[in-house]
Structure 1
């Protein structure tokens, strides 16, 4: 299959349509605006519907409605917009509805700026809305991986009846790379016999809701969700590792930051320093198992992010005190540079930290 040079936001839209998405509800915000623009042009060509809602709050509740009817549906936004959608995401998770949510992250807090950042890690992985719930969270590092994960996200959402988030910093949305649209691995997806498609006189009406007045009923529901999340942890963890067996230092990074880190690792290796990498592809479920592969000779773990250190909590939980964990990051839309990362690696390797 021939590769096509595409901008990230447009590649995401093309991947969603290829995966069978027929409905998109959203509201414009930089740096993801090319995605709804693409969907507004291309969805009607395949019999789908694009609708620019009056707000992010309205958009996510439209997603709730379309998902409840069994449709493949998505929305996208950037950081402040995702914050506005959190109540609706909690409702969707509570009602066990499948959908895909794309977040092209910009610097914050508040309106912040329009440059790339990774400061939505907490918002994405901790459940930014109310209650005990989770969403599957993918963090691609290249446009090809973005396309692959967007297509898989729709199947994962349907398989587990769960919202799936695809989180990319602003560079993922704005840069151009060649991509090809490959078929995702086949999954045995369950029928959507829970959807509110009308009874046609053949069954009782389906009711979709996240409200439970009886506290025991609600507890049973939440505990059942927890069992589902355990299955997801068993089956859907994704990560990349490099050179963990004899690394002096192991770096943990995700998304486009991991590409900068790989350049830093190459510079270290040219100087004879062994450096490993753990790249989480699923931010939730977090790849705890990858940290079990770290060598006894490793002197420390360096977490590198475009934030003030949000992923470091999960890294510390995963390493469970076996190694010291350090942090280096840039924030506000600034991107870490390889030489600065190399300097931090050398400090750890030399015992200076």
Structure 2
């Protein structure tokens, strides 16, 4: 597929093609709705380009295969939906504890438990707070369109390599299943030099490289974790990203991410047509979270509204960023129910009193 060619693609398939073009030729996964097309696309494409597609016997096996491939310094990926990501959590922690880069796709569905197969954003806490056990983080990206899913795959791999940690694309069933035209960017893959740690065989010419997450001595483990958190602080200062939409004069700022932000944008445009001063902050990264952007908006806005496809998870981060300076309200649906522009508009009007 050539660059600069506008192609109509389903979100899941665009994710897979973007990963291939970003230099990922090794995929390990297990089918689960609504992300199965990612694996199906990889199954068709990777054998034709000399890559590896392997449907593992379980999600647990798949993430540990990613760990093994990443240990060799190659770009590797897995994809799943919410229950499957929970099964991968142990392996994600091993990957983070071993300082290995990889990409994990979560096309979210409703939960908890088996839940349903409709779109949801109820894995926010899992992605940003506890993608695995222990003191760790993963880079988390939140696309709102198929084009952004494509673009973020490239960034996710690059930053994973740069900081030696797992990246996650937090999509949902709506983005995974919808179709939009996309353009694949003209980017040459310039992977980070991994020769100082990758398990590529020493051939008697260098010391052994060891990939490990086991530290039986508490002092040694604490030192290792603290060094990792110094890197996390650097990431917070450099990599947090957000889009601001009509925020400059906004009395009310709505915070939304992913597919929900598309609905919010429509409601804001209608509200603006009625003279209501409302804008939106859309986090592009959920970890690191763009807290400073929200904190700056709190200096001029009168209130905040968070809209999510959950019972309210990102709203915690908005409240932390606002730090009590302004009221923060929440509106959302869960279980696969998608908020409508009319519902969001009604919340905007309720909070502003229709003020101009």
TM range, smaller chain: over 0.9
Q: Give the counterpart of 1:342 among 345, 349, 352.
A: 345
Conserved 8 A contact 2:240-2:290:
yes
Change (3 A) 1:161 1:326: same
Matched, 1:6 2:9: yes
Partners in 2 of 1:46 and 1:188 — Cα distance? Answer: 19
- Displacement of 1:88 in angstroms is 0.3
* Equivalent residue, structure 2, for 1:76: 79
Q: Secondary structure at the match of 1:30?
A: coil
1:38 corresponds to = 41
**Which aligned runs of 4 or more in structure 1 are off by greater than 4 angstroms?**
184-188
SS in structure 2 opposite 1:168?
A: strand
* 1:51 correspondence with 2:54: yes
| Cα RMSD for the two superposed structures | 1.5
Establish whether residue 216 from structure 1 lines up as the match of residue 219 from structure 2.
Answer: yes
Retained in 2: the 8 A contact 1:299–1:349?
no
**1:19-34, aligned counterparts within 5 Å?**
19-34=22-37
The total of aligned residue pairs comes to 352
- Residue 256 (structure 2) aligns with: 253
After TM superposition, the score normalised by the length of structure 1 is 0.97
| CA distance, structure 1, for counterparts of residue 300 and residue 11 of structure 2 | 40
1:270–1:185: structure 2 CA closer, same or farther, 3 Å change rule?
A: farther
Aligned equivalent of 2:116:
113
Q: Between 185-194 and 95-104, report the one with greater CA deviation.
A: 185-194
Secondary structure of the equivalent of 2:67?
Answer: helix
Write the distance in 2 (CA, Å) between the matches of 1:279 and 1:105: 18
Q: Does the aligned pair in 1 maintain the 2:158–2:191 contact within 8 Å?
A: no
Query: How far 1:243 moved relative to its partner?
Result: 1.9
TM-score (norm 2): 0.96
1:104 is aligned to 107
Q: Is the 8 A contact 2:144 2:259 kept in 1?
A: yes
Counterpart mapping for 1:174-185 below 5 A: 174-184=177-187
Residue from 330, 333, 338 that aligns with 2:333: 330
CA distance in 2: counterparts of 1:190 and 1:53, whole angstroms: 29
212-221 or 176-185: which moved more?
176-185
CA contact (8 A) 1:299 1:348 kept: no
Unaligned 5+ runs, structure 1:
none
1:191 Cα deviation after fit: 3.3
- 1:93 aligns with 96
2:22–2:189 Cα contact (<8 Å) kept: no
